[in-house]
Amino acid sequence: MKDSIRNKLEQLADRCDEVSRLLAEPEVLERMDRYRELSVEYARLQPVVESFRAWRDTERQLAAVREMARDPDPGVRELAGLEAEELTERLASGEAELQLALVPADPLDEANVFLEIRAAAGGDEAAIFAGDLFRMYARYAEAKGWQVEVLSESRGEHGGYREIICRVIGHGAWSRLKFESGTHRVQRVPATEAQGRIHTSTCTVAILPEAEAVEAVELDPGQLRIDTYRASGAGGQHVNKTDSAVRITHLPTGIVVECQDERSQHKNRARALALLRAKLLAAERERQERQTAATRKLQVGTGDRSERIRTYNFPQGRMTDHRIDLTLYKLDHIIDGDLDAVVEPLAREYRAEQLAELA
């Protein structure tokens, strides 16, 4: 184990002992807010510290067994060798678990998300590809037991979407989808191509966390322009006769959000405000990410759309994630919603980056 990691764990062990002592002090017991705060901290520290102490016990056992390996008796040396092998494996496994325990949890991991997909270069084919991406994420969400609520959409002339914005509701949505922000590229023969030529088109995907924290984003009514208009698309006569759709412009930043999915103007307004808060929070997170992690490959959650993150090559049945040089020849499964094969390697790379920063 690296000295830096060991030092961090020893500091946590000292802090755990300190918190345990504080919880027994009368003045702390009299202050429920302080007692609750320390209890939460102790509950977070105790499992890690117990694992670290068990790891140190294993380390001491291994040192003792290695001493036995110097015994002149061949039988003792053989027994010591077998035990040393088992303890070495246990030590390595425990160290890996401890390193993961040190990685700070993303407080937004359990949050719902807003998913935005926009057709970029490629005209009609880009819109069709945006529809494919939306179906891919919708099927992935269905497999995870999440709900998908469409907030607004603009359909392409030949299918798909020029733009679609939806809300994905479910535990862990952010933890699984936060690596999807960026430019997605497709290479294939479009249905509209008469001569069989392969075209390259792109879409941008943005994933924004919706968490309780977004409520803390202050919105000055004087900085908002709220417009209502008649929603387009399905909905029957009601859609055509009432101004139920809502568009909100945040004047200082120029950010525009809209919602037209609900029949109620009040509900559309509430959802649009929640989306605006999420966008403002994401902008602040992006600014902080650029300051503290400019060299990261993943740029998790920044919504940076200037970088091509992934290519879907249909003629070769290949998907390549350019951030981690991951290539999978199972494009049909991926586009059908089997995203775990992509998400897991990205999550592992992210954890490895965080461990490198800790060290």
Task: Let me know if residue 262 belongs to a domain.
Answer: no
What is the number of structural domains in the chain?
A: 2
- Which residues, including other chains, have CB under 8 Å from residue 216's CB and lie 6 or more apart? none
CATH of the domain at 78: 1.20.58
Q: What is the mean pLDDT of the chain?
A: 85
* Range scoring the smallest mean pLDDT among 19-23, 61-65, 184-188, 219-223: 219-223
Task: Let me know if residue 133 belongs to a domain.
Answer: yes
Inform me whether the pLDDT recorded for 311 exceeds 90.
yes
End-to-end CA distance of the chain: 10
User: pLDDT for 264-279, tens place per residue?
Assistant: 888 888 888 888 888 8
| Phi then psi dihedrals of residue 255, to 5 deg | -70, 130
- 199-209: average pLDDT: 90
- Which residues, including other chains, have CB under 8 Å from residue 183's CB and lie 6 or more apart? 120, 202, 203, 204, 205, 305, 306, 307, 308, 309
- Domain boundary (102, 126, 158) is at 102
| Positive/negative CA dihedral, 219, 225, 230, 234 | negative
Q: How many CB atoms are closer than 10 A to CB 335?
A: 19
Range of the domain at 98: 3-102
- Confirm if 338 and 217 have CB atoms less than 8 A apart: no
User: pLDDT for 110-127, tens place per residue?
Assistant: 889 999 999 988 888 999
User: pLDDT for 298-307, tens place per residue?
Assistant: 544 433 444 6
Q: Specify the pTM.
A: 0.65
Amino acid at site 228: T
Quick one: 98 and 135 in the same domain?
no
- Which residues, including other chains, have CB under 8 Å from residue 341's CB and lie 6 or more apart? 328, 330, 333, 334
Helix, strand or coil, per DSSP, at residue 239: helix
